[in-house]
């Protein structure tokens, strides 16, 4: 074969790969720190049987591992995804349209590994599946593809959630009998609305109630619904439902998708922090090897320490919280930025550990972080300087550092709000500098430039 023929075949193969619907063609390009966070999140979801999204979880985990440079892990996870789909779909055939994305991933992976014959074989498998299982709508993708694409985008970033919701709607319209698609769509809408200032309205709560009736075995949905609806219920009823759900959850393998974290927030906000600690520790006692549960217990202790309304937490409470946070940091070594900050702030609560708190912050300040993570660190360090070190001048300087990073998010807006208050205080030593800074600060940025 001539070199020209080889180039022509290569071009043809790459053209076919680009036309595939899979993780490699869905414009998923997060930073390394976000990939690490996502890897841990997906691992914490668990792989217990009966999870209807298990195939999708393995597919996305495989792609994340590939992006992190672990190609052998990626191939193993893609193969597990194919096995999981065969189990969860319970179809008469081992193959179906749900494997189109998986085979596309494998075609791309073999291509990147230089194994072009294997890549071509998976391309042929994709063609065969699409011919055998065409989309019900000629101008749209197969609903199985829309559902997986929606689930993937939902996990990746906030700016893709609206598109994910649209894909879920398309999949459900073409295949309305898939309860798990409806549940995930409602959860996506609810979680997005829950992050707004107004929160969930009555219509959204009603949609969640209906979804809960249609998917009664989904304890994550039940717990999240209770969390969102608790403010409309009597305290006794909230506590009773929370305890009943907790018992159901702890009878099964516990993961981040079991609903326990949502229930702990219910205990914290509507029952008591002490009750939340008790339930979290009981869960950890029953499932001592579950990494996610140690994170939940650490969260409860952090809330306990910071809910003292000015009183100093006792020494044993602080030592317990420090020990838990140190363990969590070690369990999530590549994605523990927030927990490191929490640990620093807990150290600061102990008069003997201010040096350790400052050391953690200095390590983070000098780390090679993404813009969003830098913004977070600057904002939190500014507050630490103000509340712990009583250094309002340096605090203002770090709020300005957070605000000048051209990325719109909560931490930038929070720093801007604080700077505006400083500007309005005539006695503040940084007033003139802050006023000039705010006058020259662009109000909006194009996040795509980051």
Check residue 207 and give its pLDDT.
94
Check residue 448 and give its pLDDT.
40
Check residue 243 and give its pLDDT.
94
- For the stretch 258-263, contacts whose Cβ atoms lie closer than 8 Å and that sit 24 or more positions apart, written own/partner, are 258/46, 258/219, 258/220, 259/219, 259/220, 259/221, 259/222, 259/223, 259/224, 260/223, 260/293, 260/296, 261/296, 261/299, 262/220, 262/223, 262/224, 262/226, 262/227, 263/223, 263/226, 263/227
C-beta neighbour count of 145 within 10 angstroms = 22
Q: For the ranges 27-31, 241-245, 301-305, 430-434, which has the lowest average pLDDT?
A: 27-31
- In angstroms, rounded to a whole number, what is the distance separating the alpha carbons of residues 96 and 150? 19
Q: What domains are defined for the chain? A: 3-134 (1.25.40.10), 369-450 (no CATH)
Per-residue pLDDT band for 50 (boundaries 50, 70, 90) equals: low
Task: List pLDDT tens digits, range 88-122.
Answer: 776 556 789 999 999 999 999 999 999 999 999 99
Query: Which among 154, 139, 152, 215 has a CA at the least distance from the CA of 26?
Result: 152
Task: List pLDDT tens digits, range 413-436.
Answer: 999 999 999 999 888 889 999 999
């Amino acid at each position: 074969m001539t070199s020209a023929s080889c180039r022509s075949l290569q071009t043809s193969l790459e053209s076919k790969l680009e036309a595939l619907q899979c993780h490699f063609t869905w414009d998923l390009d997060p930073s390394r720190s976000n990939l690490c966070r996502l890897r841990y999140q997906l691992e914490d979801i668990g792989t217990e049987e009966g999870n209807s999204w298990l195939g999708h979880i393995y597919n996305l985990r495989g792609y994340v591992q590939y992006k992190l440079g672990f190609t052998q892990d990626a191939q193993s996870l893609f193969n597990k995804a194919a096995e999981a789909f065969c189990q969860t779909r319970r179809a008469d055939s081992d193959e179906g349209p749900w494997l189109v994305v998986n085979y596309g991933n494998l075609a791309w992976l073999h291509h990147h590994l230089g194994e072009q014959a294997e890549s071509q074989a998976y391309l042929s498998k994709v063609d065969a599946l699409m011919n055998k299982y065409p989309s019900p709508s000629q101008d749209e993708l197969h609903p199985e593809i829309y559902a997986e694409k929606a689930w993937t985008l939902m996990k990746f970033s906030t700016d893709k959630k609206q598109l994910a919701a649209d894909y879920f709607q398309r999949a459900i319209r073409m295949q309305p009998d898939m309860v798990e698609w409806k549940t995930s769509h409602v959860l996506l809408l609810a979680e997005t609305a829950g992050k707004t200032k107004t929160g969930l309205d009555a219509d959204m709560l009603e949609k969640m109630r209906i979804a809960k009736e249609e998917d009664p075995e989904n304890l994550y949905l039940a717990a999240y619904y209770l969390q969102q609806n608790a403010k409309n219920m009597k305290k006794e009823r909230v506590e009773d439902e929370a305890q009943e759900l907790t018992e159901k959850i702890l009878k099964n393998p516990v993961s981040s998708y079991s609903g326990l974290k949502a229930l702990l927030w219910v205990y914290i906000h509507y029952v008591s922090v002490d009750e939340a600690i008790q339930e979290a520790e009981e869960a950890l006692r029953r499932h001592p090897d579950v990494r996610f549960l140690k994170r939940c217990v650490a969260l409860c202790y952090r809330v306990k320490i910071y809910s003292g309304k000015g009183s100093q937490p006792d020494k044993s409470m602080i030592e317990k919280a420090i020990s838990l946070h140190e363990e969590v940091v070690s369990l999530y070594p590549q994605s523990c930025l927030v927990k490191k900050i929490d640990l620093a702030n807990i150290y600061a609560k102990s008069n003997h550990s201010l040096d350790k708190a400052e050391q953690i912050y200095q390590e983070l300040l000098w780390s090679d972080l993404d813009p969003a993570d830098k913004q977070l660190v600057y904002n939190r360090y500014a507050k630490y300087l103000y509340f712990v070190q009583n250094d309002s001048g340096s605090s203002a300087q770090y709020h300005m550092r957070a605000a000048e990073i051209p990325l719109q998010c909560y931490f930038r807006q929070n720093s801007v709000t604080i700077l505006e208050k400083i500007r309005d205080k005539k006695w503040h030593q940084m007033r003139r500098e802050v006023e000039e800074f705010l006058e020259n600060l662009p109000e909006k940025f194009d996040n795509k430039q980051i």
